Amino acid sequence: MIVAGEVSVNGHVVIDVSRQVHENNDVILNGMTLETRAFRYIQVHKAQGTICSNIDEAYPSVFNTVDVDNVSELHVAGRLDVDTSGLVLVTDDGRWSFNIIRPEQQCNKIYRVGLRDPVSVTDVQQFLTGIQLQGERQFTRPAELERIKPREVLLTITEGKYHQVKRMFAAVGNRVISLHREQIGEVRLDVAVGEWRYLTADEVESFNQVPRCTNDRLPSGHHRHY
């Protein structure tokens, strides 16, 4: 229909199918004004052994459990590895997901981490100061370690480098045995494995308030340095 000249944008016929349009543009098809569909914002409980891809590959796609129309138009805002479980946010709103993944947003991601070795007081302080990952010159942003058990911690980070959690613990001589994401910003995982739900309006809006994505979870007496 576009190539046939049946679509106009702001009063001009457009036959270029790659032309971008925006929410304030008037798009008309054969005399009928088109309305944009509302964006969708969803939380999914990703199971281990699934991938954050829209199609099945060596492992099944996490989207297989999301029963909505046009699921192929959704994407993950902050992927998890195949062996990592927990909260993933999916949407078809690219600007919204960009707010989540960019470091300047200071958006908390909270992980429950099982480790090979016990966590020491030195490890806690080193994570708070920042860690130099192998192959990188810049230190990580300050991160919080909350010890639950000797070999189990809650880790809060505000960035998402490649395999960051595993690399951070490797840098202090430890090894991640299990990894599960419990929270992103103000959104906590609250559905069972393989299930999903739409986010509330307040949850959606919480990611649009720069830099209020971050909850202050650092221990009393410490300050963040960015």
Say how far apart CA 53 and CA 45 lie, in whole Å: 14
In this structure, which amino acid lies at residue 178? Answer: S
Strands 32-33 and 12-13: unpaired
Residue 106: count of CB within 10 angstroms of its CB: 17
Q: Provide DSSP, 34-55.
A: --PPPP-EEEEEEPTT-BSSSS
Judge contact between 217 and 156, C-beta under 8 A. Answer: yes
Query: Across-strand partners of 2?
Result: none
Residue 142: count of CB within 10 angstroms of its CB: 19
Which of 69, 81, 123, 202 is catalytic? The answer is: 81
Q: Is the omega angle on the peptide bond into residue 60 within 30 degrees of 0, that is, cis?
A: no
Q: Which two tokens stand for residue 3?
A: 């190539």
Does residue 216 have an active-site annotation?
no
Say which DSSP state 180 is in. E
Q: Which residues are catalytic?
A: 81
